[in-house]
Amino acid sequence: MGLPILDGDPYDALGDANRRAIVELLGTGGRTVREIADALPISRPAVSRHLRLLKRAGLVLDEPRGTRRIYQLHDEGVEAVHAYLAGVWGDAAARFRLVAENTIPPVPPSPPEGEGRDGGEWGGAE
């Protein structure tokens, strides 16, 4: 369920909003550094740095095409992160469901005798 041993940590890599935005863009297909920079409010050198970190973390691959490189998501890295998170959240959701199904909802208190219908603390207009 873990990622292969890599130079970078995919969870650290995803901790940056710009890198998450790059991952979201690459989720729609491969792109060049320029295409990514044009879609985000960051420079091409910044995009290159972010892609280098994502690549070291096993989340992005690059493929040379002529004089350009096309960056795309690395399926194995993304699937490993997904499997880890699904396991963590799946366990938490199962525990929450178990607690919710085995908890008796509190019964609201009854108004004291003689109060409730004619105003006062337990209801009605004041």
Domain containing 96 — which CATH number? 1.10.10.10
Domains: count for the chain? 1
Question: In whole numbers, what is the pLDDT of the chain averaged over residues?
Answer: 84
What are 14-70's pLDDT values in tens digits? Answer: 999 999 999 999 999 999 999 999 999 999 999 999 999 999 999 999 999 999 999
For residue 16, is it within any domain?
Answer: yes
Q: Quick one: what percent of the chain has pLDDT higher than 90?
A: 50
Q: Which residue range forms the structural domain that includes residue 37?
A: 1-104
Beta pairing partners, 72: 61
* Better-predicted residue by pLDDT, 57 or 90: 57
For residue 62, is it within any domain?
Answer: yes
For residue 98, is it within any domain?
Answer: yes
For residue 118, is it within any domain?
Answer: no
For residue 58, is it within any domain?
Answer: yes
For residue 123, is it within any domain?
Answer: no
* pLDDT tier for residue 3 given thresholds of 50, 70 and 90: very low
Give DSSP secondary structure letters for the chain. Answer: -PPPP-SS-HHHHTTSHHHHHHHHHHTT--B-HHHHHHHSSS-HHHHHHHHHHHHHTTSEEEEEETTEEEEEE-HHHHHHHHHHHHHHHHHHHHHHHHHHHT-PPPPPPPPPTT-SSSSSTTSS--
For residue 110, is it within any domain?
Answer: no
